[in-house]
Amino acid sequence: MKKQFLLLLLLVVSYSYSQSQSQSVNDYKAIIIPLKYDFLNGENQYRLNTLTKFNLNKSGFVSFYASETIPAEYNERCSLLYVDVVKENGFLTTKLFITLKDCYGKIIFQSITGKSKEKEYQVAYTEALNEAFKSVYDLQYKYNGSLAAKVASAIQPEVVKATQAPVAVVKNTVSEPVVVNTVLANSNLLYAQPTATGFQLIDSTPKVIMKLFKTSQPNSFIAIKDTVQGSLILKDNQWYFEYYQNDKLMSEKVAVKF
């Protein structure tokens, strides 16, 4: 119980800090690149995702595709940024801009709008995206580690208090969830793509398997799979989709890569 309390305290402090402070891109370790941008029809169409990674790496960032296996040092998703490329409406002009968001969907940085009057999509998108990246280069990114340090220093006094305080013993009257082995639980790894309201989990097809909606806690989401609504919760470093079925709490293990 003490361990769970400390974890909850860490999440609350981290969330409060992220909401109350103006963040810089230098506070974040790396950037996650989605497999597909919303204005395009296919994964890495016109090689824009590849071009994004090339420019991010050239700008000094460490970047990973959403489908990559990320090293353990980058497993804390709130230490990462999530890039998106957005298309603006324009008559006879292709307009693109870049956003870098934190794990709550808050925009930390938005680029200038890159423009191109080229008629061929491949050329126009490439030209517009490269122009938008000029303002990313101007950031002169260099990771400073300040976000992790400030969160650690903010929570340290509270951790000391928690370890010294007596722990009340509360009888658990809630029945344990029924853990079931389902196709979802035993399927291949699902990949999280950032959306305006949270994430969507896709398989390697890619097919959308589940939609996630942000809550005030980074390790808990409102989740919808087909017509079933429940929650996706992180417990013991494993994600579980929990929902009610015939008045019974069901729990499905889900392999997710954020």
pTM score of the predicted model: 0.56
In tens digits, the chain (258 residues) has pLDDT values of: 555 544 444 444 444 444 434 578 999 999 999 999 999 999 999 999 999 999 999 999 999 998 888 888 887 888 899 999 999 998 899 999 999 999 888 999 999 999 999 999 999 999 999 999 999 999 999 999 876 655 555 445 544 544 455 555 545 545 566 665 444 444 478 888 888 788 888 887 778 899 999 888 888 999 999 888 899 999 888 899 998 888 888 999 999 888
Phi first, then psi: what are they for 52, rounded to 5°? -60, -50
Are 200 and 193 a contacting pair, CB within 8 Å? Answer: yes
Phi first, then psi: what are they for 25, rounded to 5°? -60, -25
Q: What angle do CA 192, 198, 199 make, to 5 degrees?
A: 20
Q: Which residue type, as a one-letter code, is found at position 220?
A: S
Can you give 67-120 as a three-state secondary structure string? CCCCCHHHCCHHHEEEEEEEEECCCCCEEEEEEEECCCCCEEEECCCEEECCCC
- Residue 17 and residue 152: Cα distance in Å, rounded? 11
pLDDT score recorded for residue 75:
79
Give just the sign of the alpha carbon dihedral 18, 22, 25, 26: negative
Give yes or no for a cis peptide into 194 (omega within 30° of 0): no
- Residue 26 and residue 149: Cα distance in Å, rounded? 13
pLDDT score recorded for residue 17:
41
- Residue 258 and residue 256: Cα distance in Å, rounded? 6
- Residue 109 and residue 136: Cα distance in Å, rounded? 9
pLDDT score recorded for residue 121:
93
Which CATH number describes the domain made up of 25-137?
3.40.50
- Residue 38 and residue 134: Cα distance in Å, rounded? 22
Measured in whole angstroms, the distance separating CA 215 from the mean position of its chain's CA atoms is 13
Domain ranges of the chain: 25-137, 178-257
What letter would DSSP give residue 190? E
- Residue 237 and residue 17: Cα distance in Å, rounded? 23
Alpha helices, H only, 138-219: 146-164, 183-186
Provide the greatest CA pair distance for the chain.
70
pLDDT score recorded for residue 180:
57
Report CA Rg, the chain.
Answer: 21
